[in-house]
Structure 1
């Protein structure tokens, strides 16, 4: 497992750390197809390349600006790791953004470029590749910007609560958007059970429309198309964060089991009173030492962030 904090400087206003491993379970994956990106306030970056941590310096990076992202490559479609790695390389080239519209436009354009590149040999696969992307863009002194596609998640963890701040792009969400599932049914399907299907991914495209056929563009989910009980969780928005919470960006290997709610319910106690690095290590150690019942073997990647009062807004 890689637990990464050293060599990154997020200043006095943010504490952040990253962890990733091939996973646990009865039949561990042959490779880690997840990825992540952390760019600190001095332009120092760390991510995975060929499943190993790699560091670089981002040129002309604004002082104090931070980018944090988790990516889960779709192994079932072929070239999942490569799609996640290509997305990270694109994120390293994307200029720092200070508003949601600019961030969304830049990432949508990156999606289109990568989609075109993977349509050409030798990367072409029988099923088009894709990756999740859950990203926080944080300008100094400003509230974080969220961009989300796929079924990785952003969680807000306090000493006694767990709140999910993103909506999974999965068939159950599409059914809810069409009025075929109510809130209780949706929550059971998405957070109470494990279903590995996905309806939208970065590079891949979306199957969210009425025909549920794969289309190339990404479709942003927001108050205009989500059911009322999810309307406040738009994929692309400004986040209001708290200084008494840990924010976890995580790939779905952590809840790919028979009782996902029981796993996530352990996190407040594991994070209480800890730094980002300590919270991350505690969650990984707990999960790997006590793999949950009915675990579906998958890669595990998580970023942990804690904000200081000068950055957080409530």
Structure 2
């Protein structure tokens, strides 16, 4: 569980830190199929390639723009790590996006092109896949969220950890069809853990027709989500609360029978930490030392984001260390 040693530039408005591990108490030879991408305000990128952290300068990156993403290559599937790496490579080549429409269009095109790359003739259920939960932070504007799969974005504020994304799992499909009410959905998705997924980047979706995995991605929105989930559309502008913390994480953090009790510990765990790096260290240290009962040793990746001031001011970026 070695944190990133690199200094990236996220100030003056944000403090960001990333950390990844093959899994809590996992064997040393376990493959880490997770990945992440951080592109800072100067265009310096940080990500994994062959499970080793790399840095790369993105040419033409607009000053002050930030991109953050976590990815979870589908565990147990052939080429899960390679799928996550391929999406990261695509994100590195993706220009900074100024509008939600542009971001969605470019990512949907990347999804389609990677399906071709991994074999148009491959049966959909045999294709690799990866989750993608991503924030595009534009200077002086609301963040842009793009979400596919069952990784999550959490907001930590007011003593509570609240998910801001909807898991793409069978329970969500049942809720969309009116077969689960609000209480049942929350219990099945946040009160239990099931290693099933209904949609992934590259893989395709089983939302349009549960009996068939289809090629395109299926965006969950107020048009198809039940009323109690309609505020958590997959693709939306998101006003970040300057008093809140945000965590983008893969599902290794809640791969246990009663995840809601563990996640409910996060606000107290984060209390008083002086930096995003310290926040992330606490998260990994706690799950290593005092894991929730019956935690499955899955890959774990987390990006912690905290505000350093007024996010709607325009100012020149300064260097912030990411330990």
TM-score band w.r.t. shorter chain? over 0.9
Which residue in the other structure is 1:283 paired with?
283
Q: 1:39 Cα shift?
A: 0.3
The change in CA–CA distance for 1:188 and 1:140 in structure 2 (over 3 A counts) is: same
- Alignment root-mean-square deviation, CA: 1.9
Deviation track 1:52-108 (CA, whole Å, cap 9, x = no partner) reads: 100110000000100000000002221000000000000000000011110000000
Structure-1-length-normalised TM-score: 0.95
- Runs (5+) with no aligned partner, structure 2: 314-323
Deviates more, 1:23-32 or 1:191-200: 23-32
1:224 aligned counterpart, secondary structure: coil
The CA distance in 1 between the partners of 2:19 and 2:286, in whole Å, is 14
The change in CA–CA distance for 1:29 and 1:295 in structure 2 (over 3 A counts) is: farther
Which residue in the other structure is 2:235 paired with?
236
Q: Give the paired residue count.
A: 312
Which residue in the other structure is 2:197 paired with?
198
1:306 aligned counterpart, secondary structure: strand
Q: 1:159 Cα shift?
A: 5.0
Which residue in the other structure is 2:6 paired with?
6
The CA distance in 2 between the partners of 1:27 and 1:207, in whole Å, is 33
* Larger RCO, structure (CA 8 Å, separation 6 or more): 2
The CA distance in 2 between the partners of 1:124 and 1:16, in whole Å, is 39
Q: 1:5 Cα shift?
A: 5.8
Which residue in the other structure is 2:298 paired with?
298
The CA distance in 2 between the partners of 1:222 and 1:126, in whole Å, is 25
Say if 2:40 and 2:65, in contact at 8 Å, map to a contact too. Answer: yes
Q: 1:203 Cα shift?
A: 0.6
The CA distance in 2 between the partners of 1:118 and 1:245, in whole Å, is 39
Which residue in the other structure is 2:165 paired with?
166
Say if 1:16 and 1:303, in contact at 8 Å, map to a contact too. Answer: yes
Which residue in the other structure is 1:176 paired with?
175
Structure-2-length-normalised TM-score: 0.92
The CA distance in 2 between the partners of 1:3 and 1:144, in whole Å, is 25
Say if 2:124 and 2:204, in contact at 8 Å, map to a contact too. Answer: no
The CA distance in 1 between the partners of 2:15 and 2:297, in whole Å, is 30
